Amino acid sequence: MNLLSSSSLTRTTSNTGQIIARTLSKLQEGSVQETKISQVHEELVNCLTTLEREIEEHEKLKTKQHNELSVLSAQITELTDRVEKARLRENDLTERVARWVDYLREEKEKVTVVWSWKKTATC
């Protein structure tokens, strides 16, 4: 997120709002003379242009933030997949180690039985 753009946009919107408020105040007072009508019109056109620019900037910011969120979402999905694969590998290795432990235990028992048998046979 770009906080500077957001605060700048808020500040500009506030200025535009002040101009509109002043213009409306003048219109309500009835103090607008014909010579000032063109000034009021110009202020309103400037306000409209500023608002259009602000909307455009806001849309750009919104699109940028949406794109950033999409990238983050894709990265999270990729990391989640990697974690799941690592878990599967860990489970596979755990099972393989357990099988080796069982195999070596059986071999040890066989050797112990044969050794005991030979020891008994020689005595």
More confidently predicted of 20 and 76: 76
- Could you read off the pLDDT of 83-118 as tens digits, one per residue? 999 999 999 999 999 999 999 999 999 888 878 777
pTM of the model: 0.53
What average pLDDT does the segment 19-43 reach?
71
Q: What is the mean pLDDT of the segment spanning 33-59?
A: 86
Residue 57: is its pLDDT beyond 80?
yes
In three-state secondary structure terms, 31 is coil
pLDDT at 2 over 60: no
Residue type, 15: N
What secondary structure does DSSP assign to 51-110, as a single string? HHHHHHHHHHHHHHHHHHHHHHHHHHHHHHHHHHHHHHHHHHHHHHHHHHHHHHHHHHHH
- Looking at residue 116, its pLDDT comes to 77
What is the reported pLDDT for 43?
85
As a whole number of angstroms, the distance between CA 44 and CA 48 comes to 6
Asked whether the predicted pLDDT for residue 41 surpasses 90, the reply is no
The reported pLDDT for the residue numbered 53 is 96
